[in-house]
Amino acid sequence: MGKYKTFGLVPPLLFGLVTLFMVQQLRAQEQTGSTTSLTKRQKKTIDVTKFPIADFSNTGPTDAKRKERGKKRDNSNWAVHPNAVSDNTVVVDSVDTNLPGLPVEKAAGVITGVVSDAKAYLSTDKSGVYSSFSVIIDDVLKNPGRLAVGQTIEIEREGGCVRFPSGRLHLYMVAEQDMPHTGSRYVFFLAKTEEDSVFEVITGYEIRGDGIYSLDELPQTRSYDGTSAATFLEEVRKQLTGAK
């Protein structure tokens, strides 16, 4: 009889242990899945406090080329005005959501370099604002003309902060687009302008330590976050070779 009692008790015990193990495994999978899903949903934090600031009371630049650049931004949809009700204006649906993570074909130039200075400027009629960054080139991956290591170029992006006469700051930005930070090193994909040493930023990647981090909040560019800089740059060079 003892044998039968022992045999009769063992299966429920094993079943209970197996069930407990399966429940623990499922919970672990659910927690992992939730964490992964949360990570995918986390958006890049854009530090708007580092956006360059333009003073609305400023009489404007005296440099002829800078004036010309300002004129091209007249009648802007930003509608910069001291009486603006809110403290920020964000333009949505103006970013190319189909932009490749590595837009080597679209870019006239691809460089790596350190941002040494940042300023914001108003358009000539003060309806628009754009930011300009000085970049010291340390490598040229795609050359649209006369770019060279050690050269300082200007790169621009729409938006910036405007300080009104009251002292109030108003942020103007394009949704999903961040601004480069002074002192940081980046890989920039650039579009040409009418000036040889001035470019528009298509997109970029900060080189932080040995890692790469997207400047913009786009799935295609964010997919490279955390990639080693060496691996990333090697991939850029490969695609540039194939694009020729």
Quick: pLDDT tens for 90-121.
999 888 889 999 999 999 999 999 999 999 99
**pLDDT score of 48:** 85
Note the pLDDT of residue 59: 84
How confident is the model at residue 243, as a pLDDT?
63
Each residue's pLDDT tens digit, 179-225: 999 999 999 999 999 888 899 999 999 999 999 999 999 999 999 99
Query: Cα 45 to the chain's mean position, in Å?
Result: 10
Highest mean predicted confidence (pLDDT) among 10-19, 72-81, 152-161: 152-161
Whose tokens are 């090697």? That residue is 234
What b/e sequence results for 54-92 when a residue is b if at least 16 CB atoms lie within 10 Å of its CB, and e otherwise?
Answer: bebeeeebeeeebeebbeebeebebebeeebeeeebeee
CA nearest 40: which of 223, 167, 189?
A: 223
CATH 3.40.50.720 assigned to domain 48-243? The reply is: no
Q: What is the pLDDT of residue 61?
A: 82
- The 10 Å Cβ neighbour count of residue 229 is 18
Give the pLDDT mean for 140-156.
Answer: 95
Is the per-residue pLDDT at 51 higher than 90? Answer: yes
Residue 21 has pLDDT above 60, yes or no: no
Q: Work out the average pLDDT over 9-16.
A: 43
Q: Give the residue extent of every domain in the chain.
A: 1-42, 48-243
Place 16 in a pLDDT band, splitting at 50, 70 and 90. Answer: very low
Predicted TM-score (pTM) of the model is 0.81
Residue 70, pLDDT score:
92
Check the CA dihedral 217-219-225-229 and report its sign. Answer: negative
- Residue 18 pLDDT: 42
Q: How many CB atoms lie within 10 A of CB 9?
A: 10
Mean pLDDT across 50-62:
91
- 87 pLDDT above the threshold of 50: yes
